[in-house]
Amino acid sequence: MVYQEERLLKILEYLKQHQTMSVIDICTQFEVSRDTARRDIVRLVQEGVVIRTHGGLSLPELQKEMLSYQDRLIDESESKQRIGKFGAKLIQDHETVILDVSTTVQFVAEQISAKNITAVTHSIDNVGILSNREDLQIYVLGGYLNVKHRFLYGSSIIDKLSEIHADKAFIGASAIRSDGLYYPYEEDVRVKKEMARRSDQVIVVADHTKFIGKSVHRLDFDFVDILITNREIPSEIREVLDQKNITVIECQEEHEEVRKQD
């Protein structure tokens, strides 16, 4: 099975060699339906990396944006996919799950195998991924659209979250330090706090680059139950997680190790 992100990268590679690609080409190469091929085209057009043509798509004259988008998809994508795969395994049939705006959470959404779940999200990409499934319900948290980062925002997001009870919430992080999770905007923290309050279990999914990153606004570890990452975490952060009794799951390349911090 080829996930959408992987398919988009292969479409871009094909375009670099052939300049154009038709809907039929996408259907044939990836064994997908016309509807799926059209959704792929819409995604790439929205990102500004291709232009739509009659019956397909082609590269714009300038390819700088395509390369930056391609780099962003490739960046740690294997690690994020492993994290997402393990995170998706934690979702059980019939659960209600909140899915945050995050590239790593997006990999969770792509790999959900549980049946008859209800997914709650304000991520346009998560909606696009899950809309291919007929065995689940999607509840979209409405608000203003951030076109660049492809999510909905505003006070209405928190208002809607306050009306929901979820079994699990999957959230990302811009940076992880010894005193908590960090995000670029104050509203990010408010939304994450409300997601945590409305969920029985909060699962943070973050690759190893987040442990050397920096950001501005903090969310305390008290809101977190599980942390899934792809490498051994720094000792000063591990000590804090130990004190907070947070479960750490390390999805390393050759094996998946689950370590409970007691």
pLDDT > 70? residue 257: no
> Would you state the structure tokens that stand for residue 177, as one six-digit string?
């330090």
Q: If you average pLDDT over residues 122-139, what whole number do you get?
A: 92
| pTM of the full structure | 0.71
Instruction: Provide the pLDDT confidence category of residue 202 given band limits of 50, 70 and 90.
Output: very high
| Average pLDDT in the chain | 87
Strand partners, 199: 166
pLDDT at residue 220, as a whole number:
96
Instruction: Provide the pLDDT confidence category of residue 256 given band limits of 50, 70 and 90.
Output: very low
pLDDT tens digits, residue range 18-62? 778 999 999 999 989 999 998 888 888 877 678 887 778 887 654
Q: Which CATH code is given to the segment(s) 77-260? A: 3.40.50.1360
CA distances from residue 70 to 75, 137, 230 in whole angstroms, order as listed: 9, 30, 22
**From the centroid of its chain, how far is CA 225?**
19
Looking at CATH, the fold of the domain delimited by 4-74 is given as: Arc Repressor Mutant, subunit A (1.10.10)
CA distances from residue 162 to 158, 165, 187, 195, 249 in whole angstroms, order as listed: 6, 8, 15, 8, 29
pLDDT > 60? residue 63: no
Identical topology for domains 4-74 and 77-260: no
Q: Would you state the torsion angle of the CA atoms of residues 23, 26, 28, 33, taken in this order, to the nearest 10 degrees?
A: -70
Count the residues in the chain. 262
pLDDT at residue 67, as a whole number:
46
Strands (E), 67-225: 96-99, 118-121, 137-140, 144-146, 151-153, 166-171, 175-177, 180-183, 199-205, 217-219
Contacts of 31 (CB under 8 A, 6+ apart): none
pLDDT tens digits, residue range 89-121? 999 999 999 999 988 999 999 999 999 999 999
Contact at 8 Å (CB) between 260 and 247?
A: yes
What ranges do the domains of the chain cover? 4-74, 77-260
Contacts of 73 (CB under 8 A, 6+ apart): 5, 8, 9
Contact at 8 Å (CB) between 30 and 14?
A: no
Cα separation, 224 vs 218, whole angstroms: 13
Contact at 8 Å (CB) between 248 and 225?
A: no
Q: If you average pLDDT over residues 241-259, what whole number do you get?
A: 78
Percent with pLDDT over 90 in the chain: 55
